[in-house]
Amino acid sequence: MDETIEYKFGHKCVPNGTGDYTFVCPTKGKKPGFIPWGYRKLLTGYCKCGYVIMLQKETFDVWMEGYLATGMEGIPQRATYLGSYEGDTFADACEAAIKDNYPNDTKLFDKTRLSWWGCRMYDNETDARKSFG
């Protein structure tokens, strides 16, 4: 573990070279010896400057490709934009998107294949529209 961990509002955990991290607050300065719990798993915490610090997560656009089922008279359901979701990985963002959009059908989500009910999920519109527009 030797990467800087970024939190919201400019807070950081910077490796100090001895397997430990130095916590840096943009207003209160360095606070040595701060070790994120489990190295990366400090998701939220409090800082003396008054901010609640949170891991700076990435945001992904989540698209689902369309599909053509029998009984649809050859007119496919086109790709759908599910929204913008935070996650450590795109798979996490997809999981959040499914929970939000299809809360009763989360079992149909396959986190390994990144699909829901067989429809693949993408982080961009172009790829999502390749199959069914």
Residue 119 CB coordination number (10 Å): 19
To Zn ion, the closest distance from the beta carbon of 28 in angstroms equals 5
Q: Which is nearer to Zn ion, 47 or 96 (CB)?
A: 47
**Residues 80 and 73 sit within 8 Å (Cβ to Cβ):** no
The two most distant CA atoms of the chain are separated, in Å, by 66
47, 54, 91, 96: which one binds Zn ion (CB under 5 A) = 47
13, 25, 64, 128: which one binds Zn ion (CB under 5 A) = 25
> Strand 109-110 vs strand 80-87: parallel, antiparallel, or unpaired?
unpaired
Where on the phi/psi map is residue 54: left (φ > 0), alpha (ψ -120 to 50), or beta? Answer: beta
Q: Which residue has the tokens 């935070």?
A: 86
The stretch near Zn ion (CB under 5 A) out of 13-21, 44-52, 103-111, 118-126 is 44-52
The stretch near Zn ion (CB under 5 A) out of 21-29, 54-62, 77-85, 95-103 is 21-29
Residues 48-87, mask of contacts with Zn ion (x by CB under 5 A):
-x--------------------------------------
The phi and psi torsions of 126 (rounded to 5 degrees) equal: -60, -50
Q: Which is nearer to Zn ion, 47 or 91 (CB)?
A: 47
Q: Residue 83 belongs to what H/E stretch?
A: strand 80-87
Q: Is 96 in the site for Zn ion (CB under 5 A)?
A: no
Query: Which residue ranges make up the site for Zn ion (CB under 5 A)?
Result: 25, 47, 49
